[in-house]
């Protein structure tokens, strides 16, 4: 009888004798691999690569699949590294893995060794049991009645059925090594898909020691440390073929080729994604990301359509814009003299110089803006609720219903196991486990929090610097551009104003600062997260997610928050202006058209710049690196460039590869929700970007990166809570943007309460919204220099206008706020309260109406649980009966077996 024994001490790996195995005759399985010991010789020569397909994913015997590859080169520190490799590989063999080494003379660069790893059935079965991997035990017998009405309309968007459904639908249960014949095992070679195989092997690699046991140094284990100290240069599972053509090996499914052909090419942008094939090839974690990204893109279509309609409404009502007509007319706007916008260097100006910005502002600042803000508050709720339903369906289809993150607590991070020298008893498992003392945990958390606050303070300091730039440069632009010949240009001349020049240059500088700070902070965030020593990979990602999102939230949105809620709000009035931190820089004013157009400019530059730069960075840089890295191999005959060498020359995807993809999309989600009232076309830009993003991400993952190690995930993790928080915040920010940044409320108050003729129109609004100030009362330090004033200004002009609601000079309450100001303020606050309550009530009602789990999925989950219990019960009963009957049979002297004369399917049919 064969034995599998747990290792002594603290090592969690399971030791197997190379001679130990399961009963391979069970289910008709016959091993075709040879012993691994012969494949450990590093000096094998005379291997003719021409005999092997360059796409081969098997050992030299052509039978044992390569589940993982390690690569290394000899260098000046070769002796120490060679000793580590020797011990590490010997330990891998000890736990049952089989190795085969390709000598450096066989590699295309002549200096890289490749260690190919194969996990035999007994290792896969053992660790599938440890990791509770779900495997099929019965074909799903629940009929699928989810036929869509008008289903023929979706035909152009569909993919072939064998691509969408690469596997039959099964009922599954966690694998139990002792009940191997309970499961549908037709062929042990293909029972565990390659993604599961590489996940199991990586689990072993992450926990295997690379020093001898008698040394007693528990810190020396795991492939990650060996990669960090240069012992190995790379560790990766293999792609199953080249992406542009099928594998020549009939035993390879060429799933990579299918993914490229039907998913990664840009001309497939209108096709559905083969999520089941993505999940099968890359694992559930990557599959759930692309499912979320695709669903988010689909939902953006509705927001983009409504946003475009609102923009078109603003364009069609262009000629009905009465206040812009007054600003642009010579009789009204041409006769209104405005007070200087800065001290000394800014002269008096006429209102009609802002004619173009007023017309532009109307495109985004109109009645449709309020409707769109309310619509987006409801849209974001529908998006999150429908995603929960989609996610619940995927959880069932991908066997993740009973997958709880608590199960992964058994899979501690190797770094946690090695750095935590203290041990305590786990009350649940009753086993000793490593732990981090509370004092050390608190000290590390405090240092981490202080570092994050320091970097957030650095961002705020940079934003203040950009604000100071805006204040200082506006005066320079105003002085330079008053007689600039560019103002005489027929098409663009009227649009080149000091306000526009200041806004565009400040936004571009702010974007550059954002990119620089991002690059610097990414390394800091990873460093402080490593310093905290999180217990599991889930905890590690959640901690890093919070840090990175908090930083990026402040980094990307702070300038938009400034323009939306602070610019032009604390200006003062002539003779009593407010200055920035006591300096000589006067706070910025909004032009008579409002600050909304400047918020739109800021949003367009930052959002579009981020998306364009992100796509260039994601697609172009990996391609250039791979092109340069494989330049030597391109000169070799194609048949000499093996599958492991091709993959070695690709870029490593990295453990945090998906993290940055999520972060990019969540930041974009903030742009289209938090500030969407200022730019209804933001969802359209996001939609176009995401259509490209899906294909860029799939293209680079399929063609430019090594195959990632498969990982499980039943949701998008901490990002879901972040999206929920941003959805709530977006209602508040959009309500404040409509109320305080837009001019919507002042216009409505004027039309309903202050229109002189009592008519429902906007005639006289501009004159009503500007207060009067006596020029003679402007202090000398605020007055413009004589050479800065325009030629039409003379001593007959005794007053100037400014944007506010204050009593004029000579009034008993001169320069204090009028009653209209307080009416407008009350209307703004009332609008915020009403809009928030309406949207929140609708949000909660929609969330209550839409169940998180579809009824058919709930029924299927219950049926599967029922079947698992029933089938296991029947299985155990029949097994007991057979064993009892064997014991009563005196003629039988061998070890009892379960139906030795029947196949597995016959056993199941009798049991069930």
Q: Please report which helix (H) or strand (E) contains residue 70, including its range.
A: strand 68-73
Cα-Cα-Cα-Cα torsion 310, 313, 314, 318, nearest 10 degrees, comes to 180
Coil, strand or helix: which one is 632?
coil
Q: For strand 349-350 and strand 422-425, is the pairing parallel, antiparallel, or unpaired?
A: unpaired
The predicted structure's pLDDT at residue 51: 47
Query: What is the rounded distance in angstroms from the CA atom of residue 193 to the CA atom of residue 429?
Result: 31
Verdict on whether the full-model pTM lies above 0.85: no
Query: What is the rounded distance in angstroms from the CA atom of residue 399 to the CA atom of residue 393?
Result: 10
Asked if residue 117 lies in contact with residue 97, where contact means CB atoms within 8 angstroms, the answer is yes
Residues 515-524 pLDDT 10s: 888 888 888 8
- DSSP result, 192-218: S-HHHHHHHHHHHHTT-BSS-GGG--T
The predicted structure's pLDDT at residue 545: 87
Query: What is the rounded distance in angstroms from the CA atom of residue 630 to the CA atom of residue 93?
Result: 32
Rounded to the nearest 5 percent, the helix, strand and coil shares of the chain are 60, 10, 35
Picking from 464, 474, 550, 473, the residue whose alpha carbon sits closest to that of residue 513 is 464
CA angle at residue 703 from 701 to 708, to 5 degrees? Answer: 40
For 442, counting Cβ atoms within 10 Å of its Cβ (0-12 exposed, 13-18 middle, 19+ buried), the class is exposed
Query: What is the rounded distance in angstroms from the CA atom of residue 452 to the CA atom of residue 459?
Result: 11
Query: What is the rounded distance in angstroms from the CA atom of residue 579 to the CA atom of residue 572?
Result: 9
Asked if residue 550 lies in contact with residue 456, where contact means CB atoms within 8 angstroms, the answer is yes
Non-local (6+) Cβ contacts of 30 within 8 A are 24
Tokens of 803: 């944007």
Q: For residue 233, what are the β-bridge partners? A: none
Query: What is the rounded distance in angstroms from the CA atom of residue 695 to the CA atom of residue 245?
Result: 19
Tokens of 808: 């004029």
Query: What is the rounded distance in angstroms from the CA atom of residue 422 to the CA atom of residue 865?
Result: 40
Coil, strand or helix: which one is 723?
helix
Asked if residue 865 lies in contact with residue 134, where contact means CB atoms within 8 angstroms, the answer is no
Q: Mark the ranges of the chain whose per-residue pLDDT is less than 50.
A: 1-12, 15-51, 406, 409-410, 486-493, 495, 638-639, 892-912
223 φ, ψ (degrees, to nearest 5): -65, -30
783 φ, ψ (degrees, to nearest 5): -70, 145
Helices and strands (H and E) in the chain: how many: 26, 16
Tokens of 191: 């029972």
Residues 118-175 pLDDT 10s: 999 999 999 998 888 888 888 877 766 655 555 666 777 888 888 888 888 888 888 8
- DSSP result, 155-194: GGG---HHHH--S--EEEEE--GGGGGGS--S-HHHHS-H
Asked if residue 675 lies in contact with residue 599, where contact means CB atoms within 8 angstroms, the answer is yes
The predicted structure's pLDDT at residue 615: 76
Coil, strand or helix: which one is 114?
strand
Coil, strand or helix: which one is 846?
helix
Non-local (6+) Cβ contacts of 685 within 8 A are 604, 607, 608, 611
The predicted structure's pLDDT at residue 1: 33
């Amino acid at each position: 009888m064969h034995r599998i024994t747990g290792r002594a001490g603290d090592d969690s790996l399971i030791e197997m004798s190379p001679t130990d195995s399961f009963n391979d005759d069970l289910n008709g399985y016959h091993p075709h691999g040879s012993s691994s010991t012969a494949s450990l010789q590093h000096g094998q020569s005379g291997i003719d690569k021409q005999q092997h397909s360059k796409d081969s994913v098997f050992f030299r015997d052509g039978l044992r699949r390569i589940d993982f590859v390690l690569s290394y080169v000899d260098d000046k520190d070769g002796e120490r590294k060679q000793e580590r490799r020797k011990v590490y590989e010997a330990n891998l063999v000890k736990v049952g893995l089989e190795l085969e080494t390709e000598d450096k003379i066989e590699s295309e660069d002549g200096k890289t060794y490749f260690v190919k790893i194969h996990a035999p059935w007994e290792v896969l079965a053992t660790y599938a049991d440890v990791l509770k991997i779900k495997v099929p035990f019965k074909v799903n017998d629940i009929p699928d009645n989810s036929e869509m009405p008008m289903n023929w309309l979706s035909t152009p968007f569909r993919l072939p059925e064998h691509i969408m459904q690469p596997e039959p639908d099964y009922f599954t249960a966690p694998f139990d090594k002792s009940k191997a014949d309970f499961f549908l095992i037709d062929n042990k070679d293909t029972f565990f898909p390659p993604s599961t195989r590489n996940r199991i092997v990586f689990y072993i690699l992450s926990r295997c020691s690379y020093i001898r046991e008698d040394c007693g140094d528990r810190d020396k284990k795991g492939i990650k440390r060996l990669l960090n100290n240069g012992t190995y240069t790379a560790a990766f599972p293999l792609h199953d073929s080249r992406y542009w053509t099928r594998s020549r090996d009939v035993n390879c499914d060429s799933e990579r080729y299918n993914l490229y052909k039907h998913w990664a090419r840009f001309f497939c942008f209108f096709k559905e994604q083969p999520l089941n094939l993505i999940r099968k090839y890359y694992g559930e974690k990557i599959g759930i990301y692309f499912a979320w990204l695709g669903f988010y893109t689909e939902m953006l279509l509705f927001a983009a359509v409504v946003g475009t309609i609102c923009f078109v409404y603003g364009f069609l009502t262009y000629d009905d814009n009465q206040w812009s007509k007054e600003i642009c007319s010579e009789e009204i706007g041409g006769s209104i003299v405005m007070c200087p916008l800065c001290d000394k260097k800014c002269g008096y100006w006429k209102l009609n110089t802002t004619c173009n910005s007023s017309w532009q502002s109307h495109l985004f600042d109109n009645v449709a803006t309020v409707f769109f803000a309310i619509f987006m508050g409801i849209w974001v709720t529908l998006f999150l609720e429908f995603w929960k339903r989609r996610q619940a369906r995927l959880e069932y289809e991908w066997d993740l219903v009973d997958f709880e993150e608590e199960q992964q607590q058994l899979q501690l991070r190797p770094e946690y196991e090695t750095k935590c020298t203290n041990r305590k008893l786990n009350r649940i498992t009753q086993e000793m486990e490593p732990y981090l003392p509370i004092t050390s945990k608190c000290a590390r958390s405090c240092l981490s929090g202080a570092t994050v606050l320091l970097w957030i303070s650095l961002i705020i300091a940079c934003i203040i610097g950009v604000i100071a730039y805006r204040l200082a440069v506006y005066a320079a632009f105003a002085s330079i551009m008053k007689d600039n010949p560019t103002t005489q240009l027929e098409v663009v001349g009227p649009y080149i104003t000091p306000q526009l020049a200041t806004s565009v240059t400040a936004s571009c500088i702010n974007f550059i600062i954002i990119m620089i700070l991002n690059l610097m902070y990414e390394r800091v965030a990873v460093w402080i997260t490593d310093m905290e020593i999180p217990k599991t990979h889930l905890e590690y990602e959640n901690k890093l997610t919070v840090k990175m999102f908090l930083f990026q939230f402040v980094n990307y949105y702070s300038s938009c928050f400034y323009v939306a809620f602070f610019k032009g709000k604390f200006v003062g009035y002539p003779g009593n202006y407010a200055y920035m931190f006591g300096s000589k820089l006067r706070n910025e004013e909004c032009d008579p058209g409002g600050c909304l157009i400047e918020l739109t400019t800021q949003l367009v530059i930052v959002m579009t710049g981020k998306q364009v730069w992100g796509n260039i960075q994601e697609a172009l840089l990996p391609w250039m690196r791979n092109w340069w890295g494989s330049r030597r191999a391109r000169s070799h005959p194609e048949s000499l460039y093996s599958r492991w060498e091709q993959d070695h020359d690709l870029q490593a995807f990295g453990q945090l590869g998906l993290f940055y993809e999520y972060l990019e999309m969540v930041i974009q989600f903030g742009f289209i929700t938090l500030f969407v009232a200022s730019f209804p076309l933001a969802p359209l830009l996001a939609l176009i970007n995401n259509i490209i993003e899906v294909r860029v991400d799939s293209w680079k993952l399929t063609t430019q990166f090594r195959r990632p190690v498969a990982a499980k995930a039943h949701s998008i993790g901490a990002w879901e809570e972040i999206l929920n928080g941003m959805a709530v915040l977006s209602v508040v920010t959009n309500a404040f943007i409509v109320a305080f940044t837009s001019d919507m409320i002042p216009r409505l108050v004027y039309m309903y309460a202050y229109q002189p003729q009592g008519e429902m129109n906007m005639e006289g609004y501009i004159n009503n919204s500007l207060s009067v100030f006596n020029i003679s009362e402007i202090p000398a330090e605020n007055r413009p220099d004589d050479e800065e004033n325009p030629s039409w200004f003379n001593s007959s002009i005794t007053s100037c206008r400014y944007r506010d609601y204050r009593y004029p000079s000579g009034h008993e309450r001169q320069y204090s706020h009028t009653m209209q100001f307080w009416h407008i303020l009350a209307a703004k606050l009332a609008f915020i309260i009403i809009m928030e309550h309406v949207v929140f009530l609708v949000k909660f009602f929609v969330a209550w109406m839409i169940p998180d789990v579809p009824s058919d999925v709930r029924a299927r989950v219950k049926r599967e649980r029922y079947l698992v219990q029933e089938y296991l019960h029947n299985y155990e009963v029949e097994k007991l009966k057979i064993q009892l009957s064997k014991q009563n049979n005196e003629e039988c002297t061998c070890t009892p077996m379960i139906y030795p004369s029947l196949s597995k399917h016959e056993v199941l049919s009798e049991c069930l």
